[in-house]
Structure 1
Amino acid sequence: MAQQVIDSTNNNHLTAPKQKRYRVVLLHPSAGVNWSGGSEIFAIELARRLSGYFDVELLSGAPCGDFSQPSGGIPRTHAFEFVRNPLISGFVHKFMSHPEIVIEHVSNFLPCTIRLLTKPVDLIFPCNDYGGMAVGAVVRFFKGTPILFTEHVGLMGGGKSLSRNLRFHPNQLVVFSEKIAAFARNLAPQQNIVIIPNGVDVDKFTPIGNQIDFGLPKPVVLCVASLKRNSHKRIELAMQAIAKLPHASLLLCGDGIDRDYFQAKGDELLGKQRFQIQSFPYERMPEVYRSADVFTLPSIDEPFGLAYVEAMASGLPVVATDDEMRREIVADAGMVCDVTNLEIYAQALEQVLNQDLKMRSRQNALRFSWEAIALKYRDLILATIEKQR
């Protein structure tokens, strides 16, 4: 097993791209369709920046840059609209918990595999879990093409997704934290593992720019999450904690199948004057962040949490769950606490609201700029290709 934290300071070995631009293909059939998913945004942002070093192609569900190409199958977002039909939903959910994801994987397998087999590629970078990994494994079997994979689900569900993906034996596995790396190392001691955090566009998410008047009394606490009950986001904890702060409002930004439930719950706990649910297109999220006063998300087993760094890049302090990943991300730009203790959670929110942490939050977020993260992936891709060759 080889594990390392990539250092991009030594560029002496980067002469190969000047002689030959390696061809790197990323795969995510939902990219360009779903703009609220972390892995979709990851695929687009990384493909855009790697295009400066490689011949990059992103097999996506919809156009999202001159580097993207249609994947040829059905994105899970479109499949979800189909499987939620009452005539179909009850039947398909007897056999699978997320039929829309299965449809995406199955429908994209053949067109993506054919494209990668018929058009030479130096490295395959699946970004959509086991569907993309299966495509990569078949192409590697016939062509010897190495696979680089970033685990986005982490240890959610007891690490079930990571355990499954390790069976594909990617040539290089990227994880977000040492805890996830230790879990993977225990299951697959020979697996090559690198720790690289997720990135944020610090030119898009800034404290300066247009703001939105939500019509809520200040200060406004912002929570960004998909609206689904009993999920790892634990939105109700945030609602209950903010209900203990009579001077604060809560903006819940997101959408999902349980929106009506959360609307009723928020109206009950905070009242219509101090609570709103709104959803915005991704391009407006920088305005949303900079229009609030503090960001909170009390999720558990969150693999990374892109919303945390987007909020900090926009100048917002963060209050989050006290775990290894959140301590690393938040650092001194807010507080981590036992969010299951509502008194402690409410006190942490109160304390952060009474501090001016805008500049500290911004500086902390710069550690995760996509420019720095892309350089780490550039080095790792070069090393993986050259090792395979």
Structure 2
Amino acid sequence: MIRQLVNTANKYQQESQDKHKPLKVTILHPSAGVNWSGGSEIFAIEMTRRLSAYFDVELLSGAECGNFSRKAGGVSRAYTYNLINQPLIKNLVHRFANHPEIIIEHLTNFLPCVSRCLINSTDLIFPCNDYGGLAMAAAVRAIKGTPILYTEHNGLLAQGKCLKRNLSFSPDCLVVFDKKTASFARNIKPQQELNIISNGVDLERFTPDGAKLNFGLTTPIVLCVASLNRKNHKRVDLAINAVSRLSQVSLLLCGDGPDRDYFQARGEQLLGVNRFKISTFPSQRMPEVYRSADVFTLPSINEPFSLAYMEAMASGLPVVTTDDQIRRYIVGDSGILCDVTNPEIYADGLFQVLKTNWQQKAVSNAARFSWDNIAWKYRNVIMETIKRKKETTV
């Protein structure tokens, strides 16, 4: 995936070399280039690639992502996670913070990124790493008046806790993924400039055509891509329980996390080793993973806008998931939305989609979310935000 992203980035930059791009945009994510599976990291890279056709864009990242990126200068969370989670250290630091590795990333990248944005003057700052990036951007804005564009990736998780916090930074423009989150934000801060733009998917990588994998499981196969943590919002247990009610149907969990052993034992207990497996794959293999399954499911609650749904649909898979407003918008007629907390209803939804070929509907639906379309919308928002800022400072 790294090589492919770099090559595509070069293509976009080559197409833009002869264009006059007077506006400079700085995108920030200190984990980009280090973590290739995180949604916000991929978002930052894709935005940089696509927006390079319209602006002079620089990505301050954790590692090289292509010649459009520059190392942010601090320590990425991925480099400290294992050290901090050693038993003796974990017991100490987790008394003060749930995710100390993220705090370290934010603190160590603050001054280098502020310095870069001040020295290498930019027309707009686009942080993609939550409150750490917003704090950095707010510092630059206080000194130079540089406007801030921010996309809320956490949506309404934890009753909108992150969104409430991030609104306190007063970005010059906030982008959210859906109407429900927009309404929540407007109730908190009615004067906040706000746009609704969905997340995106790479339709060149995720397609039904191409190489497939043999998972060594009884077919058909239900695929669930999620972090394996019993305390998060993914609710992987619900998928295991539902698939266990379908004879001759297997479940592949693609992911990792602190509760991997628990889920391994639970899956083998309910489905057996021939119908259950947990695997992790590098990001560049994920298109093969999707197209090797028969249906995708993710029974999460308050899901902001998971890339996995769109990647699955672009790969031709129907989706069975939670019935709520944002999933109705994402999935549309490409699967079945149901009460996933009821194992019988959930299992029946999986059974129903396995009886029909949904590929054409899924691919057609995913086309709505192409990164090129999404980037064009962001291009317009960026132009409007910079223009509005200039008008208010004249």
**Counterpart of 2:287?**
286
Gaps of 5+ in 1: 1-16
Q: Deviations over 1:228-285 (max 9, x none)?
A: 1121000000000000001100000011121111111110110011000000000110
Q: 2: distance between equivalents of 1:18 and 1:314?
A: 34
Q: Which has the higher contact order (CA 8 A, sep 6+)?
A: 1
Q: 2: distance between equivalents of 1:21 and 1:285?
A: 37
**Counterpart of 1:295?**
296
**Counterpart of 1:4?**
none
Contact 2:21–2:56 (CA<8 Å) still a contact in 1? no
Q: 2: distance between equivalents of 1:365 and 1:283?
A: 19
**Counterpart of 2:43?**
42
CA deviation after TM superposition for structure 1 residue 19, in Å: 4.8
**Counterpart of 1:11?**
none
**Counterpart of 2:272?**
271
Q: 1: distance between equivalents of 2:32 and 2:324?
A: 29
**Counterpart of 1:375?**
376
Contact 2:335–2:353 (CA<8 Å) still a contact in 1? yes
- Describe the shift of the 1:332–1:190 C-alpha distance in structure 2 as closer, same or farther (beyond 3 A): same
CA deviation after TM superposition for structure 1 residue 18, in Å: 5.4
Q: 2: distance between equivalents of 1:180 and 1:302?
A: 11
CA deviation after TM superposition for structure 1 residue 81, in Å: 1.4
Q: 2: distance between equivalents of 1:376 and 1:164?
A: 25
**Counterpart of 1:318?**
319
Question: In the alignment, is residue 138 of structure 1 matched against residue 139 of structure 2?
Answer: yes
Which secondary structure state, in structure 1, belongs to the residue aligned with residue 208 of structure 2? coil
Which secondary structure state, in structure 1, belongs to the residue aligned with residue 98 of structure 2? coil
Counterpart of 2:112, as a letter, is P
Q: How many residues align?
A: 373
Contact 2:234–2:299 (CA<8 Å) still a contact in 1? yes
Task: Show structure 1 runs of 4+ deviating over 3 A.
Answer: 17-20
Counterpart of 1:43, as a letter, is A
Contact 2:62–2:76 (CA<8 Å) still a contact in 1? yes
Contact 1:48–1:65 (CA<8 Å) still a contact in 2? no
Q: Deviations over 1:192-231 (max 9, x none)?
A: 0100000000010000000001111110000000111121
**Counterpart of 2:170?**
169
Q: Deviations over 1:343-363 (max 9, x none)?
A: 000000000010110011000
**Counterpart of 2:152?**
151
Question: In the alignment, is residue 195 of structure 1 matched against residue 196 of structure 2?
Answer: yes
Q: 2: distance between equivalents of 1:20 and 1:61?
A: 26
Q: 2: distance between equivalents of 1:259 and 1:343?
A: 25
Counterpart of 2:363, as a letter, is R
Q: 1: distance between equivalents of 2:21 and 2:90?
A: 50
Q: 1:85-164 counterparts in 2 under 5 A?
A: 85-164=86-165
**Counterpart of 2:33?**
32
Counterpart of 2:65, as a letter, is C
Contact 1:21–1:53 (CA<8 Å) still a contact in 2? no
Contact 1:174–1:193 (CA<8 Å) still a contact in 2? yes
Counterpart of 2:132, as a letter, is G
Q: 2: distance between equivalents of 1:21 and 1:295?
A: 44
**Counterpart of 2:211?**
210
Contact 1:318–1:330 (CA<8 Å) still a contact in 2? yes
Q: Deviations over 1:38-65 (max 9, x none)?
A: 1011101111111111111111111112
Counterpart of 2:53, as a letter, is G
Q: 2: distance between equivalents of 1:259 and 1:67?
A: 36
Q: Deviations over 1:14-51 (max 9, x none)?
A: xxx95543110100000111112110111011111111
Gaps of 5+ in 2: 1-17
- Is 76-85 or 123-132 further displaced after alignment? 76-85
CA deviation after TM superposition for structure 1 residue 125, in Å: 0.2
**Counterpart of 2:12?**
none
CA deviation after TM superposition for structure 1 residue 184, in Å: 0.5
Percent same amino acid at aligned positions?
62
Q: 1: distance between equivalents of 2:21 and 2:347?
A: 56
Q: 1: distance between equivalents of 2:80 and 2:149?
A: 27
Contact 1:185–1:191 (CA<8 Å) still a contact in 2? yes
**Counterpart of 2:186?**
185
Which secondary structure state, in structure 1, belongs to the residue aligned with residue 41 of structure 2? helix
Counterpart of 1:325, as a letter, is I
Q: 1: distance between equivalents of 2:163 and 2:41?
A: 18
Which secondary structure state, in structure 2, belongs to the residue aligned with residue 111 of structure 1? helix
Q: 2: distance between equivalents of 1:21 and 1:304?
A: 32
Contact 2:220–2:293 (CA<8 Å) still a contact in 1? yes
**Counterpart of 1:356?**
357
- Give the alignment's Cα RMSD to 1 decimal: 1.0
**Counterpart of 1:13?**
none
Length-normalised TM-score, structure 2: 0.94
Which secondary structure state, in structure 2, belongs to the residue aligned with residue 388 of structure 1? helix
Counterpart of 2:235, as a letter, is R
**Counterpart of 2:341?**
340
Which secondary structure state, in structure 1, belongs to the residue aligned with residue 58 of structure 2? strand
